[in-house]
Structure 1
């Protein structure tokens, strides 16, 4: 009968951390408390890993690797790729209309989604609660190495930026709209269709139409 050799405290700590990190990797960047404790890791040790900066608590019941080891992009994908859509400042950046990525993340989500999903310690997320029949209008796929995420196409995006102008900084608004106007890939027909659906037709005419 094989006898297990007991590990020293430091060895056990390293062993537990490596198993948690492997679980997080296999789970797409996030792991639940229950799945971690099911590995045989004591909850107090899990909390100590967080206190020591070895792991990051994303929200109640969910953990990821330490900050800097896993990108915010991957965390956003892990949390919202099924039903969220990148919008506003975040989408302006990925569509090439902002030079710098905003500090937080703007995510459109069904208005019936649980509000507790956004009680996050990290990363910072601004939800835009949207009616179901509006959420999927103008959606395309943002493809990044290792993951994909829904994002609004440039013409739908600009309509939302105009609709929620007061929620975006003046500088980002001007930069985003100006670069959209300069973009040869914009589709005016689609823009006007979206403007009708998003009830910003007058804004499109007065703020963008004069430049087209």
Structure 2
């Protein structure tokens, strides 16, 4: 009887140690950890599955786990899940200060070879824009979002993209974005035209923006 009790305590202690290790790792990773990272703790799929079934651990999508995931803001989650992505379109307009309300869907530019399975998730909702590597890296800058670094396009590149793909953009958001850019005293017209040539939207820029400059 004493041996059985000792064994139960030993299992419970091991479980608590595993949970503490998981919490520490997830915290170090910004709130979300990959399966491969959890495996470095000596855990296997069965252990992770048991914690998920118990409600201790949350599987947010294939290959990614978290704790208290639903309590986290989208701003906390996006930089961790998509450190290689670049905020673009409506999301870019919002974080460049050109829209007052954050769009419901996150628009993120990613390399064309990125696995589509990364975006199969219920929360947050992400719309990926698959892009050539050279184009993806053009005009990228970073800013701090909830303590995490995230990439975003410079406003001049962003405006050119919005004009290039205006059929994919909400008309009202595009209008507000263009008006805000025109009023932006820190805009760089030379840089805008450089990106306009690169993105092949020179005529659109001249017709939609040039008359107001």
TM-score category of the 2 structures, normalised to the smaller one: 0.7 to 0.9
Pick from 65, 68, 81 the counterpart of residue 67 of structure 2: 65
For residues 59-97 of structure 1, the C-alpha deviation after alignment (integer angstroms, 9 at most, x for no partner) is 11211222443332232211221x211111111111001
Q: What are structure 1's unaligned runs of at least 5 residues?
A: none
Match of 1:200 in 2: 201
Match of 2:156 in 1: 155
Match of 1:23 in 2: 25
**Are 1:88 and 1:106, in contact at CA under 8 Å, matched by a contact in 2?**
yes
Q: Distance in 2 between matches of 1:149 and 1:208?
A: 28
Q: Does 1:191 align with 2:192?
A: yes
Q: Distance in 2 between matches of 1:7 and 1:174?
A: 64
Match of 1:32 in 2: 34
Match of 2:87 in 1: 86
Q: Does 1:77 align with 2:79?
A: yes
Match of 1:119 in 2: 120
**Are 1:155 and 1:187, in contact at CA under 8 Å, matched by a contact in 2?**
yes
Change (3 A) 1:44 1:209: same
For residues 78-120 of structure 1, the C-alpha deviation after alignment (integer angstroms, 9 at most, x for no partner) is 1221x21111111111100111111121111111222222222
Q: What are structure 2's unaligned runs of at least 5 residues?
A: none
Q: Distance in 2 between matches of 1:5 and 1:139?
A: 56
Match of 2:143 in 1: 142
**Which segment drifts farther, 105-114 or 187-196?**
105-114
Q: Distance in 2 between matches of 1:190 and 1:197?
A: 11
Q: How does 1:169-184 map to 2 (within 5 A)?
A: 169-184=170-185
Match of 1:45 in 2: 50
Change (3 A) 1:56 1:163: farther
Task: Name whichever structure is richer in helix by fraction.
Answer: 2
Q: Distance in 1 between matches of 2:166 and 2:110?
A: 18
Change (3 A) 1:88 1:5: same
Runs of 4+ aligned residues of structure 1 deviating over 6 Å after TM superposition are 8-15
Q: What RMSD over aligned residues (CA atoms) do the two structures have, in Å? A: 2.8
Any idea what SS the aligned residue of 2:77 has? helix
**Are 2:76 and 2:146, in contact at CA under 8 Å, matched by a contact in 1?**
no
Q: Distance in 2 between matches of 1:210 and 1:180?
A: 13
Q: Distance in 2 between matches of 1:33 and 1:137?
A: 32
How many pairs are equivalent?
206
Change (3 A) 1:70 1:38: farther
